[in-house]
Each structure stands twice: as C-alpha cells, then as structure tokens.
C-alpha cells in the first residue's frame, strides 16, 4: 500500500549578531530591558537577540539582510525599538507567503543571569512571531570567561528558524 504524504514546502533560516557592551547604554535582549551596568552600543536599541532573529527570518525567506532593510546610516532607525523592526519583518515574511514554525535562539553573555527574564522574552517574541510560546526556545550561556563575550566586552546571539509556506 502506498501512503500519500502531504508535503508542505519548508525553509530554514539562520542569523548571528554581536554588539559591544559599554557603559551608559540600556541592555535590551529579546525585547526586554535587562538590569545591568553595561548596554549594547548600536544605532538602534542594540537588541542582539532580535537582530539575529531578524536575519534568520529574512535569509530564510531569501530576502536581503537586516542592514539592507534597515540601514544604520538612516536617521529614522536611530534608537529604534527592535521589536518594531521585527514586526516589519513579519509583515515581509507573511507577504512572501511564509509563517514561522518555530525558533531556536542562543544568547551569549557572561553576566547577568537571564533565567528570570527568559519566560517574559518568550511571551513577547511569541506574540510578535504569531506562534505559541512553546515554539520559542531560548538558551542563555556564558562564554566561560573566554574571549569578547567572556570578558563582558560583547554580547553575541545566534538564531535558527523554521518556516513553512502558508497553504493557500
């Protein structure tokens, strides 16, 4: 007996981002402000996790990257809340006929501990991505005191995303 398997076209996307950590800046990760004495140096709010996620989505649908869509030379993006950029990216994603299946995120930061913030990050991102909270995975790691992240000179993030074509 031959089984008929309904095949749904799917894509994957991957993104990476890094920002310097400096005094007198807010630290925003996954749309949530984190209480810390250093923050991300950036033209926008410097949300490294959302920037990695945006590149994962954009490259996953075969689009140009974050810097092409939202150039850091453009005054209109100065200090912008990265969740606004992510909302715009979701509009592009849906207009290209894709929806998010799930996302898997990693943020690398020596301190502070993010465990208490992660549940609210997941709710925020799930709302923005129009997925269930259980479709958002976030790992927070130190860099074992090694390298730029380990010396708290930088914050780094990686993002993987699974996308499906919206069935017409």
Nearer to Mg ion, 72 or 111 (CB): 72
Residues that bind Mg ion (CB under 5 A): 17, 51
- 122 beta partners: none
Nearer to Mg ion, 81 or 135 (CB): 81
- 31 in the Ramachandran plot: left (φ > 0), alpha (ψ -120 to 50) or beta? left
Q: Closest residue to Mg ion, Cβ-based?
A: 51
Q: 166: which DSSP letter?
A: P
Task: State how far the Cα of 48 lies from the Cα of 45, in Å rounded to an integer.
Answer: 9
Nearer to Mg ion, 51 or 122 (CB): 51
**Among the listed residues 29, 17, 112, the one whose alpha carbon sits nearest the alpha carbon of residue 70:** 17
Please, what is the minimum distance in Å from the beta carbon of residue 159 to Mg ion? 12
Please, what is the minimum distance in Å from the beta carbon of residue 39 to Mg ion? 13
Please, what is the minimum distance in Å from the beta carbon of residue 17 to Mg ion? 4
Nearer to Mg ion, 43 or 99 (CB): 43
Please, what is the minimum distance in Å from the beta carbon of residue 47 to Mg ion? 7
Sign of CA dihedral 24, 115, 88, 58: positive
Nearer to Mg ion, 17 or 110 (CB): 17
Task: State how far the Cα of 5 lies from the Cα of 14, in Å rounded to an integer.
Answer: 27
Please, what is the minimum distance in Å from the beta carbon of residue 168 to Mg ion? 34
**Token pair listed for 103:** 């996302």
In the chain, the N- to C-terminal Cα span, in Å, equals: 29
**Among the listed residues 48, 65, 49, the one whose alpha carbon sits nearest the alpha carbon of residue 13:** 65
């Amino acid at each position: 007996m031959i089984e008929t398997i309904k095949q749904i076209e799917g894509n994957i996307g991957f993104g990476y981002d890094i920002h310097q950590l400096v005094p007198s800046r807010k630290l925003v990760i996954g749309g949530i402000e984190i209480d810390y004495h250093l923050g991300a140096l950036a033209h926008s709010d410097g949300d490294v996790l959302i920037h990695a996620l945006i590149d994962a989505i954009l490259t996953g649908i075969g689009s140009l990257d974050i810097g092409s869509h939202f150039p850091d030379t453009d005054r209109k993006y100065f200090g912008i809340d990265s969740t606004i950029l992510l909302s715009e990216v979701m509009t592009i994603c849906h207009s290209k006929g894709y929806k998010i299946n799930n996302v898997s995120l990693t943020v690398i930061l020596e301190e502070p501990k993010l465990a208490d913030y992660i549940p609210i990050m997941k709710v925020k991102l799930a709302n923005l991505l129009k997925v269930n909270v259980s479709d958002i995975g976030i790992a927070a790691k130190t860099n074992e005191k090694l390298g730029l992240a380990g010396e708290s000179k930088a914050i780094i993030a990686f993002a993987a995303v699974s996308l499906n074509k919206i069935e017409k």
